[in-house]
């Protein structure tokens, strides 16, 4: 499969990343949550970032920075072709203008003309830039690519005025390089560094002004032909040291596409697991914290007519959400509630044997979560101790332990609510006999 086909296969999850946090429920401009915009992958102008100490040192992209760096591992094979697709949102201002009796136009916060409501608001448009190269080219020297978007403006006529849409220019640079790793088998460390080069935003600009010259929701797709990527979450033993040495800033690269495939990497500003996907039951993006579709859909249905009207006027994507939820048939909404992927309770005595120790409800265990195929947040629980609340068997006859973390101040609440952490037997270490 060629790089273009590979990107098509991961577009759904990439789009979910691109628009994550774009608008939050209740999708209205007046909501406080939608007055502080753009939560992830924001590459701001460098001067503005540096005076605020925004240096992008963390892995996840929830902190703003002027740069983003992806490092991943690639096994070359023959003539290795590499394609990168840099994707981000470009903010634009929709300013409503009212026409006076003498024909002059003046900016206003909103304009009501019959059933149509127009609001002044900042929206965004998607941008993509492709970089095509090869392992041989990168080993000979780094490749620098200018990422530029010119300023622009359009006008939309309205019966009582018009909407002025304005975008500032964007300037950035992508630097792609590759270096051999000291491993027993051929392995390359592939690096893509994206830097905001905006020269015009002053250090004392407001955040709103800086965002107009920023890359929003920035992430990178990387495809290879004639080679394969190595998982950084679950590398083969011979590549473990090389995986640990990868330095990622504001980016978290994971394998993407169908499970088992290794020809595409998604470098996301959000921590993910290998081969992430959108739930097949989801009817469309809701942009809200990798959403729980049923809850947000039901909550959206409770909005008043006035609130829905404001949401539709806030942004075209908000209007799409309102229209989709209102037209969702009962069967589609039911699917959001009825999908079962959780384990089922074990039959019998409710105990299993791990390393010669019987483990059952009430047993204490030490947590050793694996780094792939599970919740990526579980990695932060390594070495912590937990209390087994239940022993479960899933539909594939795999044993799981439902666990509460012992030093979690919310453990009693989780126990009352039945909200547990789930681990397979190879992810726990018994601390005592049951």
- Lowest model confidence (mean pLDDT) among 30-44, 51-65, 194-208, 314-328: 51-65
* Same domain, yes or no: 57 and 178: yes
Average the pLDDT over each of 25-34, 137-146, 154-163 and give the range with the smallest value. Answer: 25-34
In a domain, 138, yes or no: yes
Q: Which of 184-188, 285-289, 409-413 has the lowest mean pLDDT?
A: 285-289
- How many domains in the chain? 2
SS3 283: coil
Judged on CB neighbours under 10 Å (0-12, 13-18, 19+), 117 is middle
Neighbours of 394 (CB within 10 A): 15
Based on the fold, state whether residues 262 and 175 are members of the same structural domain.
Answer: yes
- pLDDT category at 432 given cuts 50, 70, 90 is confident
- Coil, strand or helix at 314: helix
The DSSP element (H or E) to which 69 belongs, if any, is strand 67-99
The residue among 180 and 53 whose pLDDT is bigger is 180
Is 235:228 a contact under the CB 8 Å cutoff?
A: no
Q: Look at residues 242, 260, 276 and tell me which one is the last residue of a structural domain.
A: 276
Cα–Cα distance measured from residue 380 to residue 259, given in angstroms and rounded to the nearest whole number? 24
In 3-state terms the chain splits into helix, strand, coil percentages (rounded to 5) of 25, 40, 40
For residue 127, the cross-strand partners are: 88
Its pTM stands at 0.77
Q: Which domain holds residue 388?
A: 344-430
CB 47 within 8 A of CB 202: yes
Q: Are residues 209 and 357 in the same domain?
A: no
For residue 11, is pLDDT > 80? Answer: yes
424/393 Cα distance (integer angstroms): 10
**Residues 343-394: tens digit of each pLDDT:** 555 444 578 899 889 999 999 999 998 876 666 777 788 899 999 998 988 7
Q: Which two tokens stand for residue 168?
A: 């500032």
Quick one: 269 and 352 in the same domain? no
55, 190: one domain: yes
429 DSSP β-pair partners: 366
65 pLDDT more than 60 = yes
Domain identity same for 220 and 365: no
* Rg (alpha carbons) of the chain, rounded to whole number: 25
Q: What is the pLDDT of residue 290?
A: 54
**Residue 260 in domain:** yes
The pLDDT, as a whole number, for residue 291 is: 55
Query: Is the pLDDT confidence value at 102 over 60?
Result: yes
User: Are residues 138 and 16 both part of a single domain?
Assistant: yes
Q: Is the dihedral of CA 308, 314, 315, 318 positive or negative?
A: negative
263 is a domain residue: yes
Of 304, 267, 315, 262, residue with least CA distance to 92: 315
Determine, yes or no, domain membership for 300: no
pLDDT of residue 200: 93
Q: Are 269 and 38 in contact (CB under 8 A)?
A: no
d(Cα 296, Cα 121) in Å, to the nearest integer?
23
Domain annotation covers residue 197: yes
pLDDT at 180: 97
In a domain, 405, yes or no: yes
Please say whether the beta carbons of 103 and 150 come within 8 A.
no
**Same domain flag for 208 and 356:** no
Mean pLDDT, residues 264-293 taken together: 83
Same domain, yes or no: 243 and 140: yes
268 and 376 assigned to the same domain: no
Going by C-alpha positions, the residue among 13, 138, 141, 156 that lies closest to residue 83 is 138
Quick one: pLDDT band at residue 84, thresholds 50, 70, 90?
Answer: very high
Residue 283 lies in a domain: no
Is residue 26 reached through a cis peptide bond, with omega within 30 degrees of 0 on the bond before it? Answer: yes
Tell whether the model's pLDDT for residue 339 goes beyond 60.
no
Phi and psi at 316, nearest 5°, equal: -60, -35
Residue of 171, 218, 225 lying closest to 198 (CA atoms): 171
Mean pLDDT confidence for 409-433:
83
pLDDT in tens, 200-235: 999 999 999 999 999 999 999 999 999 999 999 999
Domain limit, last residue, from 276, 303, 336: 276
CA distances from 423 to 233, 375, 381, 402 (A): 17, 10, 11, 7
Residue 353 included in any domain:
yes
CATH number at residue 424: 2.30.30.140
Same domain for 203 and 95? yes
All residues at 6 or more sequence positions from 118 whose CB lies less than 8 Å from its CB, including other chains: 96, 110, 111, 158, 163, 313
Which run of H or of E encompasses 47?
Answer: helix 46-50
pLDDT band at 116 (very low <50, low <70, confident <90, very high): confident
Contact 308, 323 (CB under 8 A): no
Cα distance between residue 96 and residue 258, in whole Å: 45
What gap in Å lies between CA 312 and CA 59, rounded to an integer? 35
Last residue of a domain, one of 225, 256, 276: 276
pLDDT for residue 114: 74
What is the rounded average pLDDT of the residues 174-184? 97
Q: What is the mean pLDDT of the chain?
A: 88
Do residue 170 and residue 248 come from a single domain? yes
Distance CA 276, CA 101 (A): 56
Contact criterion met (CB below 8 Å) for 7 and 269: no
């Amino acid at each position: 499969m060629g790089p273009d086909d590979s990107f098509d296969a991961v577009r759904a999850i990439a789009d979910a990343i691109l628009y994550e946090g774009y608008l939050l429920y209740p999708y209205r401009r007046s909501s406080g949550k939608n007055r502080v915009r753009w939560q992830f992958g924001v590459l701001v102008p460098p001067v503005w970032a540096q005076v605020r100490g925004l240096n992008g040192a963390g892995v996840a992209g929830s902190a703003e920075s002027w740069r983003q760096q992806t490092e991943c591992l690639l096994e070359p094979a023959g003539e290795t072709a590499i394609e990168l697709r840099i994707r981000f949102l470009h903010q634009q201002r929709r300013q409503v203008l009212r026409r006076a009796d003498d024909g002059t136009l003046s900016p206003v916060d909103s304009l009501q003309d019959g059933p149509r409501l127009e609001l002044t608001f900042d929206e965004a448009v998607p941008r993509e830039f492709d970089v095509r190269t090869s392992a041989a080219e990168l080993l000979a020297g780094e490749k620098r690519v200018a990422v530029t978007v010119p300023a622009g403006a359009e006008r939309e006529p309205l019966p009582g005025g018009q909407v002025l849409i304005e975008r500032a220019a964007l300037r950035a640079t992508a630097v792609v390089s590759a270096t051999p790793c000291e491993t027993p088998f051929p392995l390359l460390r592939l690096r893509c560094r994206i830097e905001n080069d905006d020269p015009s935003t002053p250090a004392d600009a407001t955040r709103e002004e800086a965002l107009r010259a920023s890359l929003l929701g920035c992430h990178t797709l990387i495809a290879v032909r004639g080679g394969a990527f190595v998982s950084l979450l679950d590398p083969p033993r011979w590549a473990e040291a090389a995986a640990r040495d990868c330095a990622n800033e504001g980016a978290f690269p994971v394998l993407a596409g169908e499970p088992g495939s290794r020809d595409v990497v998604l470098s996301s500003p959000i921590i993910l697991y290998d081969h992430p996907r959108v739930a097949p039951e989801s009817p469309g993006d809701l942009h809200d914290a990798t959403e729980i579709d049923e809850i947000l859909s039901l909550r959206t249905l409770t909005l008043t007519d006035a609130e829905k009207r404001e949401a539709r006027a806030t942004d075209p994507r908000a209007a799409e959400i309102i229209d989709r939820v209102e037209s969702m048939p009962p069967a589609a909404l039911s699917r959001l509630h009825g999908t079962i992927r959780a384990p089922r309770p074990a039959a019998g005595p409710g105990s299993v044997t791990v390393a010669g120790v019987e483990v059952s409800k009430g047993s204490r265990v030490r947590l050793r979560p694996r780094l792939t195929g599970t919740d990526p947040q579980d990695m932060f629980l390594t070495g912590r101790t937990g209390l087994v609340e239940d022993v479960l068997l899933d539909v594939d006859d795999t044993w799981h332990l439902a666990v509460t973390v012992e030093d979690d101040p919310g453990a009693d609440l989780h126990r009352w609510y039945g909200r547990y952490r789930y681990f397979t037997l190879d992810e726990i270490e018994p601390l005592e006999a049951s």
